[in-house]
Structure 1
Amino acid sequence: MNVDVRPIAESEIPEWLRALNTGFLRMETPTEGDVAQCAEYSDTARMLGGFDTATGRCAATLRSFSQELTVPGGAFVASSAVTNVAVLPTHRRRGLLTRMMAAELAAAKARGDVLSTLIAAEYPIYGRHGYGPATSVSEWEIDVPRTGLAGRRPASGPGGGVAAGRIELVDEAVVRKVGPELHERLRAVTPGAVSRDARWWRLATGVEEWSHRPFKEKFNAVYRTAAGEVTGLVSYASADHWTDAKVPQNTVRVQQLLALTPDAERALWEFLCSIDWVLAVRTGFRAPDDLVARLLPDARAARVVTHADWLWVRLLDVVRALRARTYATEGVLVLEVEDRDGLADGRYRLDAGAGDCVRTDEPADLRLAIGTLGSLYLGDESAVRLAALGEITVAAGARPGVLALADAVFRTPRRPWCPDVF
């Protein structure tokens, strides 16, 4: 079976979408609207297809787009975001994904992207291509009657009184107006967050939609400070469900909640838990150290229902990547990085105090694969833990305490969080 892996032509978008839909177990035939949107918003030079030369049918898909990733310290780093990866069930285990990933990563390196990002649908696949799980997410379900919030007015302050701010229900037009600026401010202080373009907000608010993901109206609320500044936004939905005894059993499901301050975050969660007829609140995917449970009078009212890896990072330029972020402590580490694809292998000297990184011939302190460095990069993982797992090796003759130093250098006070899927 011969398969030609290459960027597609615009005329091949319908066939490419057909393969993508089949791989994602969606209705196979794309609509005219889907084809038009794909043609308008996607760069066909970054849409790879694997075409069976015997049938001419597209059998595999991969697409990438430009993205910015926030790293510790607040810098925005240029990334190639990988998405829409699919292989037809008739063409599995023939190396098509490996060929597409090799082509994409080589192109990203040539473009000057510092790193590549993706959300992995399946865990075992992308470590083979140099990616490491760099953030994770948790979702809580809040048992509203148990929270201890009954009888409180929403937007209560840390001392239990009513905060100076207020909650205001808004429509999608207001979300389109205030959401982008709020998100920009939030991602500037949230390692792991990624950029959203104007189209993200059009899809989120119903101006545009995909046939496989039709827009459904939802509720939106903002938190305004006493001065009228929007510092929080939540979008949520709820199905109308009652028992035969006419008892409400509704669950609110949060689609996004953005908060710039603890006051805004507290006010929005208390608002959601104060809605009549609601017995449970599903928080959506949050950072594992999110404030939500401890904001409740009874933290046990919130139980974790999901915890999983989320954003995966693949470094392409180690020097630029390590120079871009900041570090919590001073220290010098010499890292021997293995990259079997040859894109970023070598020995690097990181001076955390100076915020500098250079290639070096000095003896290594630690040896690790490029994917392991990706897991360390945003500060979510422990070097000591990775060494216990066999993913980091302390070099012979390395200084005592070098693993503890690596932990102190790379870890961040709060865990990184990516609020988006792409």
Structure 2
Amino acid sequence: MGGMPSALPDGEPVPEDGALPGHALTGAAGRPLGFYLHVPYCATRCGYCDFNTYTATELRGSGGVLASRDNYAATLTEEVRLARKVLGDDPRRVRTVFVGGGTPTLLAAADLVRMLTAIREEFGLAEDAEITTEANPESVGPAYLQALREGGFNRISFGMQSARRHVLDVLDRTHTPGRPEACVAEARAAGFEHVNLDLIYGTPGESDEDWRASLDAAIGAGPDHISAYALIVEEGTQLARRIRRGEVPMTDDDVHADRYLIADEVLAAAGYRWYEVSNWAAGGRPEARCLHNELYWRGADWWGAGPGAHSHVGGVRWWNAKHPGAYAAALAQGRSPGAGRELLSEEDRRVERILLELRLREGCPLDLLRPAGAAAAARALADGLLQEAPYAEGSAVLTLRGRLLADAVVRDLVD
């Protein structure tokens, strides 16, 4: 499952009314606007998870009624209203909405629809808006999915991770193998045209055969989008502690590379085309991509509502109070829940464009590079890590080998 990181950066204070600098909305009409809605609740904590999430036990006694998921939809709706005030007469209709967590589907379907309705009423939705929620396979059924579809959701992302029970056990995932595939069928029956399955590779104890079985199961379910992420062992997680105690082996970068190559081979053979290093769309169709994530990767505007959620509008980035109780208390007092912000310089934005756009199939415009970065790009082209982008003149794109070394290539290009 996706979500917000548990640690927040430093930054300057956010005004109590959340007001943005005047330049932030300059030219806004030409940029897409999205909303990310963070639902921080989970039934249990997965051993690898470092997102800003809370179980009922973790919240008990630390936030009172304000931290309760029972009134969470009403609380988040207040931030949507704040967003309308801050953005003023901004005429844009919302292009994408993404509900992530945590486990959004621990809330009643009516609550998710209520939050979406607040955005529709305050801003309006683009005619072709993409409306996504993440879902735990064990937390939804046909009636729930039908209620989401009737309420306006048109895309859903299920956290599958693996088809093998022993791999799920290491990750502390509680769903039954086979359930995510059944969820895809139930979502299709409810009218969802766009369905994603999230996979994780490189879990301790996973074999190549296990990974191929997971890919085959995901493809067999028939989603139009599959994401595959290397397992990252974050400090402070239960998995990190188990590895430190020697209970399970450490993850291995060479294994990650092998698994990625397997994923690209198997997915390509099944008709899925990569469009971002960790994401594949059926037939490469634009409508099968996650348009919301593309807002992030292309530096568009989005408002992140919920505890710890990050936002970006016109070169201003800010983040909310991390704890649900502190977040709700700020809104109850009529204050912005923003905990800090930073104003991005032109150089910051140039570097971020390279970092993010190089991961895309369309590649990175070479005119963004400084002389040292251009020299590094020439070396990477000669070494077969980059190639001229076939879809965008004057851009370079990672080759398959370059995707395996994406972080290193990017580091060289931002100089």
Instruction: Tell me if both proteins adopt one fold, taking TM over 0.5 as the criterion.
Output: no
Larger radius of gyration: 1
Normalising by structure 1, we get a TM-score of: 0.30
Normalising by structure 2, we get a TM-score of: 0.31
Q: Which has the higher strand share?
A: 1
